[in-house]
Structure 1
Amino acid sequence: MVCVDFAKATGILLNFVAPNGITRCSEDKHVEVTVEYQQVVNGSATGPIYSETVMLHGIDGSRSQIAKTLRIDMPFTGTFRFRAKRITDNGDHADLSDDTKFYLAYAFYESDKLIYDDVTLARVRTVATQQATGAQSREFNLIAHRKLYSFQSGEKSVDRMATSNFADIVCAMTTDEKIGRRDINTLDVVSLYAVADEINTYFGVPIEFNYTFDDAKMSYEEALATVANAVFCDARRESNQVFFVFEQPRDIPTLLFNHRNKKPESEKRSVSFGVNKDFDGVKIKWHNPADSWSETEIKLPNDNVINAKSLEISGITNEAQAKLLAYRALNKLKHKKRSVEFSAYHEADLVTRNDLILVADDTRPMLVSSGSVIEQYGLYLTLSQPCVLDENETYVIHLQLPNSQVDVIQLSQGSHEREVLLARAPTSQLVFEYEGNISCSTYLVTTDTHSKRDLFLITEKSGGGGESSITAINYTDQYYLNDKDYV
């Protein structure tokens, strides 16, 4: 007799197993088992004894395992005791196989609470096979789509909706009590949804994020970076507001670095031939919804690559998005030829990873001129360094503006070697040292044919608070050659 002490129990599940089937000479047999149970109150058996029977039948003369589950809904609630007895005698023959074992018993009750706020419940029914019941822990896969509130209209939506829009996901992560723990006002909501629409229009296919975060130690910032990495963006914060910046082809750099804002003798440039680390391609894993959401691998430029660079990107569930991410990585492998490292002063606090910058080459004598603007008279600029222009060549000046942009303007020689004449006025007012400013507008003069030669993309930045170390690679539109494959 077995006693089960469970005050909420309303039923019993009992499993019986015939490990070698129930048969004799390929003739099916059966085994009948009787189960008796009784209520227990304060440790004492109380009330009538109830009984139920269960029958195990052989199948097609097979000696394969047979199992049967008996479910009993008890007429009482609480602690009980039970016993099981075999009542079928098939004889004692050498070729008889009908050994039957009581395997496991469960007490159960039906929960009367089916809905929990902010909790997703998944109820799974498992067949009580020997392998299933012998498992120490259980895991299962399912397809779930979380419903979130949307802020696309500028206000919180009335109802939740199933969504894969990364803007909705970032809003939910930010306001979640256990993830972001922040007010929605810490997000630039308007910019976030505008960037999401811009990305979908640019690529011509839905760019989504579908991923289950299962690391309790992951920070809010790390989760933002995971989302941004999957949707071709960088997550940033300025003035205590988080926003996403879409990486795409561009012509206007964010900042100009020359000898006025770089640490002396800190610059190192290198030129590479071939592909870094001899990678012959890239590979990325994504989950294919058409194949039971199984993990699928894409290799580029073809399936024959041997030493492929592996891309660790989460949340990809469509092939087009996976290929676009892979092609960007492949194109950067192929077309990254030059890199630069240098230390910069406080202006470097204005830029971060994937920003486009203009870097004067201070590792060799200047091709034309680089320095700061001393004075302006109309379209005439007085420069801090000599600038001698060849009348048979076309030149441009790259001017650092106070609005964190670089203006590129054609120019010609002025009346002396430190004076130049602009083809048009700058798009913003310049800043001069004599007006009491700590830093003034800097410039870089190049030939027009080499205007993109000193453009770089930041790949790493460390430090801050007055001095930062920056690593960047050469910029080229070829990084984005395959962006329009699905337009």
Structure 2
Amino acid sequence: MNADWTVLANDYGGETVTLFPVIATTAERWIGWVTVESQRPIRRIIANMVAAALYADNGQQQYRRNVDFRFEAQRVDVQGNPYGAVHAFERTVVGSATSRSTRAYTLNVELVNDPSNRWRFRARRLTATDTDFEGTTIDEVKWRDLYACGYVDQLHFGDVTTVHAVRLATDGALAIKDPKLNMLVTRNLPRRISGSEFTTELFPTNSLADILSAVCLDPLIGNRTPDEVDFDNIYQTEQEIKDYFGIDVAQFNYTIDKDNLSFEEILTMISGAAFCRAYRRGSVIRLYFERATDDSTLLFNHRNKIPGSEQRTEGNDAENDGIEFEWIDPNNNDAPATIYIPEDRSAVNPKRIESVGVRLSEQAWILAWREYGKLMYQDCATQFTGLPEANLLIPSERFLNADNTRGRSQDGEFIEVDEDDPLLVTLSQPMQWQEGQAYQIFIQNRDGYVERMGVSSGGGARWALLEREPRTPILTRRTGAYFPTTYVIGVGTSPRQARAFILGEKDRANADGTVPLRAINYDDRYYEHDLDFHP
């Protein structure tokens, strides 16, 4: 019983003026001990001390407030009893006189002497709050995180990449619930010695040929044998790209981080970044480099197309009037950059392209202008079903195609070559020769290339006189040829003459061996900016 309880009733009538009691303590206030146990010896600790802000403000000026803290660590035995010396660390969380954002300090220290799997930790504040300051003081500091670390003796963890990263506890970083880490890395791959022989030592590379070779041979991606990859073609094509552009744009700079991509999709992605198309001839993988050319590899006419299968569309159905090409700019902290064509951004409905593996400005520039060229100068599209020889075509390859959408045809195959005059040939289709008209004939030679030359009447509707002998001998069915030599005869600027196209898509062969094809007209202007960086 305390007699002072009667003071209020006897001396003050049971009431007092307003009181302002103050509770104070002079004892040390600790957070902890916190015991941590690990399977490996704990050799290092990382602790975060975080303050929402550290400052004092009297309404006219902001002042910095720093907070000192003490962190202690001690070993613990199997029974949970502490032993040994107490390791003490004193640090400071520094405030700001200008900012009111998060302030923090990361204590990252090594625990020396005898290692132990069990430690206990505690922390306390050393700096007292300034209660005499006339204004607002914000100086609360929280012990938010504690990490116990051990040494890693392994040099690697097998077929996996391990990364240790430090992220500063800023307001922006803390606002991201699922942070992601992006890094610039270069993969180490074998280097080619010769043929299908590669080094066992690995080298950092972004070479198109090195990457394609490694992807093809990788047991988890291509799983191809060396006999199924034309390494000579791949490395020769890489050199052709460098020689053609005058700079090394035969590169691929991207980490494929998706496991649902097929081998064909990966090949298309890698080769497309370097102006190529990967294809398979038989069971062998090769590369085709798309560029301006005067040569066409195949000729299609009514003899090697399914009758009635061809459709042509004049003009361009695309509604886009410009290009927005996005690539990764290494000179801007590897941030995405965009090439606008037209450069004044006057396009109302531009085609947006997100490139993959492009980190060179020259490479991005050429790819963007190629896309713009095909957007502006495509004025005809065709699709038809070709006979089995259409399988020889490679996507992006140039070929000649006669217009078989009309009733009559001025193309066909050679029936016979005159024994006395090898320039005089018999045609499979009658030709209406006109006096004073110039004619051109396109001949599909047996070496796979189309040859063009002048031609005139040979004295009859089915007789033609060639300007010169073809590069390879003409084959006919009468001589036992399975694929006789075919031709297309063009008359001046007639739309019926053979026209150059670029193969866009080639579907899988039908059950009867025929192949559906889709193509757009060929135009040299697609490639008019290819040599912008050639020395």
Give 1:277-356 correspondences, 5 Å limit: 277-302=318-343, 303-356=345-398
Compared with structure 1, are the counterparts of its residues 113 and 479 closer, same or farther at alpha carbon in structure 2 (3 Å cutoff)?
A: same
SS in structure 2 opposite 1:421? strand
Please say if residues 344 and 468 of structure 1, whose CA atoms lie closer than 8 Å, have aligned partners that are also in contact: yes
Give 1:354-433 correspondences, 5 Å limit: 354-366=396-408, 369-377=410-418, 378-433=422-477
SS in structure 2 opposite 1:317? coil
Partner in structure 1 of residue 104 of structure 2: 67
| Distance across 2 between alignment mates of 1:167 and 1:437 | 39
Whether 2:514 is the aligned partner of 1:467: answer yes
Give 1:258-277 correspondences, 5 Å limit: 258-272=301-315, 276-277=317-318
The superposition leaves residues 48-87 of structure 1 with CA deviations (integer Å, 9 ceiling, x where unpaired) of 3624142436646678444333344334221333333445
In structure 1, runs of 5+ residues without a counterpart are: none
TM-aligned CA deviation for residue 484 of structure 1? 2.3
| Distance across 2 between alignment mates of 1:388 and 1:224 | 49
The superposition leaves residues 321-340 of structure 1 with CA deviations (integer Å, 9 ceiling, x where unpaired) of 21211211112122111222
TM-aligned CA deviation for residue 304 of structure 1? 2.3
Partner in structure 2 of residue 216 of structure 1: 259
Please say if residues 69 and 91 of structure 2, whose CA atoms lie closer than 8 Å, have aligned partners that are also in contact: yes
Instruction: Please say which structure displays the higher CA radius of gyration.
Output: 2
Partner in structure 1 of residue 285 of structure 2: 242
Compared with structure 1, are the counterparts of its residues 31 and 395 closer, same or farther at alpha carbon in structure 2 (3 Å cutoff)?
A: closer
Letter in 2 for 1:432: T
| Distance across 1 between alignment mates of 2:246 and 2:458 | 49
Partner in structure 1 of residue 17 of structure 2: none
| Distance across 1 between alignment mates of 2:130 and 2:323 | 68
Please say if residues 348 and 464 of structure 1, whose CA atoms lie closer than 8 Å, have aligned partners that are also in contact: no
In structure 2, runs of 5+ residues without a counterpart are: 1-32
Partner in structure 2 of residue 82 of structure 1: 121
| Distance across 2 between alignment mates of 1:316 and 1:238 | 27
Partner in structure 1 of residue 45 of structure 2: 12
| Distance across 1 between alignment mates of 2:254 and 2:160 | 17
Aligned residues: 484
TM-aligned CA deviation for residue 130 of structure 1? 6.5
**Deviation larger for 83-92 or 214-223:** 83-92
| Distance across 1 between alignment mates of 2:300 and 2:207 | 37
TM-aligned CA deviation for residue 308 of structure 1? 0.8
Please say if residues 54 and 96 of structure 2, whose CA atoms lie closer than 8 Å, have aligned partners that are also in contact: no
Please say if residues 93 and 105 of structure 2, whose CA atoms lie closer than 8 Å, have aligned partners that are also in contact: no
**Deviation larger for 181-190 or 83-92:** 83-92
TM-aligned CA deviation for residue 296 of structure 1? 0.8
Give 1:4-43 correspondences, 5 Å limit: 4-8=36-40, 9-21=42-54, 31-42=67-78
| Distance across 2 between alignment mates of 1:70 and 1:36 | 11
| Distance across 2 between alignment mates of 1:136 and 1:116 | 28
Give 1:430-469 correspondences, 5 Å limit: 430-447=474-491, 453-465=498-510, 466-469=513-516
Letter in 2 for 1:48: G
Please say if residues 23 and 63 of structure 1, whose CA atoms lie closer than 8 Å, have aligned partners that are also in contact: no
TM-aligned CA deviation for residue 295 of structure 1? 1.1
TM-aligned CA deviation for residue 261 of structure 1? 2.1
Normalising by structure 2, we get a TM-score of: 0.81
Partner in structure 2 of residue 180 of structure 1: 222
Partner in structure 2 of residue 56 of structure 1: 92
RMSD between aligned residues? 3.0
SS in structure 2 opposite 1:278? coil
| Distance across 2 between alignment mates of 1:120 and 1:373 | 63
The superposition leaves residues 441-482 of structure 1 with CA deviations (integer Å, 9 ceiling, x where unpaired) of 222111365697522222222231412222222222222222
| Distance across 1 between alignment mates of 2:169 and 2:312 | 66
Partner in structure 1 of residue 146 of structure 2: 105
Compared with structure 1, are the counterparts of its residues 141 and 356 closer, same or farther at alpha carbon in structure 2 (3 Å cutoff)?
A: same
Please say if residues 403 and 497 of structure 2, whose CA atoms lie closer than 8 Å, have aligned partners that are also in contact: no
Letter in 2 for 1:473: I
TM-aligned CA deviation for residue 170 of structure 1? 0.8
| Distance across 2 between alignment mates of 1:251 and 1:18 | 70
Letter in 2 for 1:357: F
TM-aligned CA deviation for residue 189 of structure 1? 1.2
Give identity over the alignment, percent. 30
TM-aligned CA deviation for residue 239 of structure 1? 2.5
SS in structure 1 opposite 2:312? strand
SS in structure 2 opposite 1:463? coil
TM-aligned CA deviation for residue 108 of structure 1? 0.5
**Deviation larger for 257-266 or 422-431:** 422-431
2:274 counterpart (227, 231, 236): 231
Please say if residues 171 and 184 of structure 1, whose CA atoms lie closer than 8 Å, have aligned partners that are also in contact: no
